[in-house]
Structure 1
Amino acid sequence: MADEEEAPPPVDQIKLIHKLNLFKIKGRDKRGRKILRIIGKHFPAKDLTVDLLKKYLEVKIFPKLERPFVIVYIHTDVNKSDNFPGISALRSVYDAIPITVKQFLETVYFVHPDLQSRLFLATFGRFIFTGGLYAKLKYVSRLAYLWEHVRRNAIEIPEFVYDHDEDLEYRPMMDYGIESDHPRVYDAPVVDSSVAMYSTRCIS
């Protein structure tokens, strides 16, 4: 009996990824490079298989990245239990990226990194992202720092990202997990911003 052909990914799940607006290629940064925007909060880790994600990227995303590009990854409001696929899944997806696409990727802007993500990348980043990608990662703790590299009208930013950015201005210690993330209170005492150090350092 002949081997059965691999079944194509379910159309409804492909539509789900597209509807969630998880990946979007639009606009260029100030150096003329294409922008691939990724919204971490939109990633349905519980409902999306790694194989389906890789297939979607292979068909819908990778063919459009045939010249230098950057990634703007928005980490705002990501919850580990809902939006994090796991270390092995990340490594599997990264290994599936064609070498030509990896070569064209020049910078990854990591917007609103929290303390957990910084610690995770410091521990596992070089293991997961081999081949130099880890060195291309730049933490961007405020949208104002992103605008130094990307024009505001070149990329669509969800409203909840702006809200979180404003929260961080009022309570900067949230950057380091010292203060919990809860609805902002405008009449509360303002934390002296000189205490916090805003990190835009490129990890190398």
Structure 2
Amino acid sequence: MPEEEPSPDQIKLIHKLNLFKIKGRDKRGRKILRIIGKNFPARSLTVDLLKKYLEVKIFPKLERPFVIVYIHTDVHKSDNFPGISYLRAVYDAIPVTVKQYLETVYFVHPDLQSRIFLATFGRFLFTGGLYAKLNYVTRLAYLWEHVRRNAIEIPEFVCDHDEDLEYRPMMDYGLESDYRRVYESPVVDPSVAMYSMRCIS
């Protein structure tokens, strides 16, 4: 069965999700591919469609050494996690040259569930050494050791979560909920910029 070809409208929709963005360089001069896990529509984006989008819009721009900044903040299995077979199919579709150019994956705000998942399945799911390139980043302050603040846009909700973690460190291990954001966060006007000056200044 032939793979699904993305239409211009579908490509535009994926682009609008702000899931992938290639912009800026890290402190070693490598391109940055930023991925925001929360924006992943796990229930509606098919494997074939995502593979074709990456093939057309992302892979051609990664012809030199690059790093991935994957932001895991607010990813939930039912909404944003596509499943093991999905991830493996997408990973297998990445050209060998692109895999070779990928030097580091900065995994921002890993939760206990993602750590256990990767510790259990990472070496089998991502063959070719990707698991060894994984670098857990529990706080944005540690990301700034490798990436200049003005080189990458960080959404407001990521900054909020980072602040919560500073004051409630047990949230890192799933032993305490981030109740403040769930029950006390104000209604946000969508017309307001989604990127915080706290993250880029």
TM-score if structure 2 supplies the norm length? Answer: 0.87
Give 2:10's aligned residue.
13
Give 1:144's aligned residue.
141
Separation in 1 of the partners of 2:5 and 2:153?
A: 31
Whether 2:125 is the aligned partner of 1:128: answer: yes
Give 2:158's aligned residue.
161
What's the C-alpha RMSD, in Å, of the aligned pairs?
1.6
Per-residue CA distance 1:89-117 (angstroms, 9 max, x = gap):
00000000000000000000000000000
Whether 2:108 is the aligned partner of 1:118: answer: no
Percent of aligned pairs with the same residue? 88
Out of 102, 107, 119, the position equivalent to 2:104 is 107
Unaligned runs of 5+ in 1: 186-204
SS for the counterpart of 1:79 is coil
Per-residue CA distance 1:135-185 (angstroms, 9 max, x = gap):
000000000000000000000000000000000011000000111121169
TM-score if structure 1 supplies the norm length? Answer: 0.86
Give 1:52's aligned residue.
49
Give 1:195's aligned residue.
none
Shift of 1:16: 1.3
Give 1:77's aligned residue.
74
> Larger radius of gyration, structure 1 or 2?
1
Separation in 2 of the partners of 1:117 and 1:7?
A: 30
Unaligned runs of 5+ in 2: 183-201
Per-residue CA distance 1:54-95 (angstroms, 9 max, x = gap):
000000000000000000000000011000010000000000
Give 1:98's aligned residue.
95
Give 1:63's aligned residue.
60
| Counterpart residue type for residue 157 of structure 1 | I
Separation in 2 of the partners of 1:159 and 1:8?
A: 34
| Counterpart residue type for residue 93 of structure 1 | V
| Counterpart residue type for residue 50 of structure 1 | V
| Counterpart residue type for residue 120 of structure 2 | T
> How many pairs align?
182
Separation in 2 of the partners of 1:6 and 1:79?
A: 28
Whether 2:14 is the aligned partner of 1:35: answer: no
Separation in 1 of the partners of 2:141 and 2:148?
A: 10
| Counterpart residue type for residue 114 of structure 1 | D
The within-5 A match list for 1:154-193 is 154-183=151-180
Give 1:200's aligned residue.
none
CA, structure 1 residues 5+107, in 2 after alignment: closer, same or farther (shift >3 Å)? closer
